[in-house]
Amino acid sequence: MNLAALQPGILGEGDSRGGICPGCAVPAAAPFFRQAAVPAHSSLLLADRETALAFPRGELELTACGSCGLVFNQSFRPELMRYGPDCEETQSSSATFLAYAGALAERWIERYQLVGGRILEIGCGKGEFLALICRLAAAEGIGFDPAFDPARAPHEPGLRIDWRRECYGPAQAGMAADLVVCRHTLEHIAPVGQFLAMLRRNMGERPSVLALEVPALEPILELGAFWDIYHEHCSYFTAQSLGRLVSLAGFEVLALSREYGGQYLVLEARPRAGEAPPPAVVPGPPAEGAAADRDLTLRMTHALAFWQRRLRDWRGQGRRVALWGSGSKAVGFLSALGSAADVVELVVDLNPRRHGWFMPGCGQPIVAPAMLRQYRPDIVIAMNPIYREEIGRDLAALGLQSQLLAIDELEGTIGL
C-alpha cells in the first residue's frame, strides 16, 4: 500500500479529537468501538522480536459522523506516525495485485486521454504505480511521499518522473497535472476534510481529474472484519461518505465503484467549475451502514470470539498455524487476538524485503514461502481472501497439503 504523504500538522491543528468530525467539522456521536494497546504502525520493518513486542501502541475509538458518514478513530495519535524508508508497503510481489494495478492504470489512461500528459501522485510509496502508469501513457510524472526510497526508484529509458521525498501540501498549489492520483493515502490522514479542501484549492480551475482509492468500509460492516481496523488508518469510508466528502470539498464526482473483490473504493472526480467549496455541514440522514453502530460492534465482537476459539482449539490439537500476508491485516488480526495469537508461530510474505523482520506488536517472524517446507504447517490462513487461489498454487508448488483458509471464512457464525 502507499503511505500517507502528509505529516501531522501540515494542514493545521484540525484532527479527530474531541468528537468533532474531521470530515465535515460537525459534532459526532460517542465512540461505538474501542480497542486499547494496538500497534501504532503496521508497515515498519522491525529487526528483532524484542523491538517488535515493545513497539509503541495507540488506541482505537471508532466514531461515526451522523452528517457525512465518515468513520474515524477519535483517539488517533499522529505523533506516533513515522513514515520513512523503513516502511515497506508495496504489494508488487503479487501477480494478482500487479494485474489489478495494470488494469486500473489502463482504464484511467483511456478514460481521461492521458497519453503524453502529466500525472501527479500523492503518496506514491516506492513508486511502482506511478512508474507503471507513466510508462503505459508515455507521460511525465511527479510523485510525493516521505517514505519514498531513492535507492529503489524505477530507472528505465524514457521514464520521466520527478520523485519528491516530501509531503504534498499547500506549497504545491498551481502544480499542473492531467491526473492527480491518491491511492491508499486518504485513510492515513486525520484532517481529511481539510486535506480534500486543500487539494481542491491546489487544483484550481484546470480540467484535471482526481483519482482516489481507499479501503472500503463496507466489508468491515458486512463481516465485522476486526482485522481491517488499526491505528495507522484513522479514517474509514463507505462509498456514500467518500462521495459526500469529495463533493463537499468542491469536486464533481465522475465515477465511484467498489473494486478488487469489493475491498477498495475507487472514485474519480474533477473540480466543480465556477463554484466555491460548499459549506462544511452536510444536512441529511447518516450514511448507509455507518449508522449501524450496534450491529457493527456485535459483528466484530462475534468475529473476534470466533477466531479466538478456533485458534485455541488448534492449540489444543497441537496443530501448526501460519499466516500468509504480513501487512496491516495481519497486524490488526494478531494484535486483537490476545493470547490466542501465540498459536501463530510465523507469518509468510512474498515480498523478499520483508523476510527476516518481525511483526509490529506481536513479534512473529516474517519468512519466505520456501520456509514452509521446513515448518510444514497444518493450516495456512490467507490474510486477504483475494489471494486465496494464488496462495493455493504457491502451496502446491512447495509440495504442501496444508489446509488453506481465508480470513473471512467464518462458517456463518456472524449472521445477524
Tell me what the mean pLDDT of segment 286-291 comes to: 42
pLDDT of residue 18: 59
Q: What percent of the chain has pLDDT over 70?
A: 89
State the average pLDDT for the chain. Answer: 88
pLDDT of residue 152: 86
Tell me what the mean pLDDT of segment 364-368 comes to: 97
Q: In what order do the strands lie in the sheet with 344-348?
A: 366-367, 344-348, 321-324, 379-382, 403-406
What the block records as the C-alpha cell of 344 is 501463530
Tell me what the mean pLDDT of segment 306-328 comes to: 96
pLDDT classification of 3: cutoffs 50, 70, 90: very low
pLDDT classification of 103: cutoffs 50, 70, 90: very high
- At 170-201, the pLDDT tens digits run 999 989 999 999 999 999 999 999 999 999 99
User: Which residue, 395, 354, 352, is CA-closest to 376?
Assistant: 395
Other CB atoms within 10 Å distance of the CB of residue 152: 14
pLDDT of residue 273: 82
Q: In what order do the strands lie in the sheet with 57-64?
A: 33-39, 57-64, 71-73, 235-236
User: Which residue, 345, 380, 379, is CA-closest to 359?
Assistant: 345
pLDDT of residue 10: 34
pLDDT classification of 275: cutoffs 50, 70, 90: low
Tell me what the mean pLDDT of segment 363-381 comes to: 97
pLDDT classification of 149: cutoffs 50, 70, 90: confident
> What phi, psi does 3 have (nearest 5°)?
-110, 160
Where helices occur in 113-255 by DSSP H, the ranges are 128-137, 192-203, 218-223, 239-248
Half-sphere exposure of 134 (CA within 13 A, CB side): 28
Q: What percent of the chain has pLDDT over 90?
A: 72
pLDDT classification of 156: cutoffs 50, 70, 90: confident
Measured between alpha carbons, how far is 202 from 204 in angstroms, rounded to an integer? 5
In terms of pLDDT, which residue wins out, 174 or 249? 249
pLDDT over threshold 90, residue 155: no
In terms of pLDDT, which residue wins out, 406 or 156? 406
Supply the angle between the helices 192-203 and 239-248 in degrees, to the nearest 10: 50
pTM of this structure:
0.89
